[in-house]
């Protein structure tokens, strides 16, 4: 379970004062990832591309301290676990969200991904881990190629969020533009940049 912390006693004290009540505290970064290796691993091991990308996203986040602290309402909550949320099309043709806890072991993460997304699709209900994990939202719009996505600032959902469309083949490479949105109280641009570098490195070195 997360615990509430005093912003004044946290490394995010200044950011809390600057951004918690800002009209738009959300920041969006755009980056084009080289996902050639991800597609190779997907085909070689018969694993879902989306699952592999979500695994790399969570793995890139777990080593960055700022991901474990999230503004919720006017509170600052600290978590000790990371999860990734996936949008699942259910059997009615509607959508639900499915949170997958991060596991360092790819096989374990894959098993959890398959079991939980299948349950959500069949039961037409959400799987929510926000009560005990800091959840990174994701949305894959594979019907088209996207250059980027700017999410809304609802003031309710402050979690980091990553969006992407269909990957693009470029001669010998495969590229995927993504959008990464985050709350400025949670992290600064340098932290977000380090996360994106970790993500690209994790994709290239995945085996």
Task: List per-residue pLDDT tens for the chain, 207 residues long.
Answer: 899 999 999 999 999 999 999 989 999 999 999 999 999 999 999 999 999 999 999 999 999 999 999 999 899 999 999 999 999 999 999 999 999 999 999 999 999 999 999 999 999 999 999 889 999 999 999 999 999 999 877 777 899 999 999 999 998 999 999 999 999 999 999 999 999 999 999 999 999
Residues in the chain: 207
C-alpha 79, offset from chain centre: 15
Residues 82/55, Cβ–Cβ less than 8 Å: no
pLDDT score for 119: 98
Which helix H or strand E contains 117, and what residues bound it?
Answer: helix 106-123
Distance CA 195, CA 106 (A): 19
pTM tops 0.75: yes
pLDDT at residue 155, as a whole number: 73
The 8-class DSSP code of residue 54 comes to H
pLDDT of residue 152: 78
Are the beta carbons of 140 and 164 closer than 8 angstroms? Answer: yes
- Please tell me the distance from the alpha carbon of residue 141 to that of residue 133, in angstroms, as a whole number: 25
Domains and CATH numbers, the chain: 26-69+81-205 (3.30.559.10)
CB 54 within 8 A of CB 47: no
User: What confidence score (pLDDT) does residue 94 get?
Assistant: 97
């Amino acid at each position: 379970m997360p615990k509430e912390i005093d912003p004044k006693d946290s490394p995010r004290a200044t950011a809390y004062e600057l951004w918690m009540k800002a009209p738009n505290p959300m920041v969006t970064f755009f980056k084009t990832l080289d996902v050639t290796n991800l597609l190779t691993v997907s085909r070689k091991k018969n694993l879902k591309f989306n699952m592999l990308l979500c695994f790399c996203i969570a793995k890139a986040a777990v080593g960055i301290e700022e991901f474990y602290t999230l503004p919720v309402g006017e509170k600052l909550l600290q978590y000790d676990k990371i999860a990734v949320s996936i949008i699942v099309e259910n059997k009615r043709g509607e959508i639900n969200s499915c949170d997958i806890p991060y596991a360092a072991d790819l096989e374990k993460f894959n098993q959890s991904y398959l079991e939980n997304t299948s349950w959500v699709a069949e039961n037409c209900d959400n799987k929510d881990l926000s009560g005990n994990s800091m959840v990174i939202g994701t949305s894959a719009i594979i019907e088209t190629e996207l250059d980027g996505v700017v999410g809304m600032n609802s003031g309710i959902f402050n979690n980091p969020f990553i969006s992407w469309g269909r990957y693009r083949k470029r001669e010998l490479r495969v590229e995927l533009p993504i959008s990464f949105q985050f709350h400025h109280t949670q992290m600064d641009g340098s932290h977000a940049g380090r996360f994106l570098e970790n993500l690209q490195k994790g994709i290239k070195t995945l085996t």
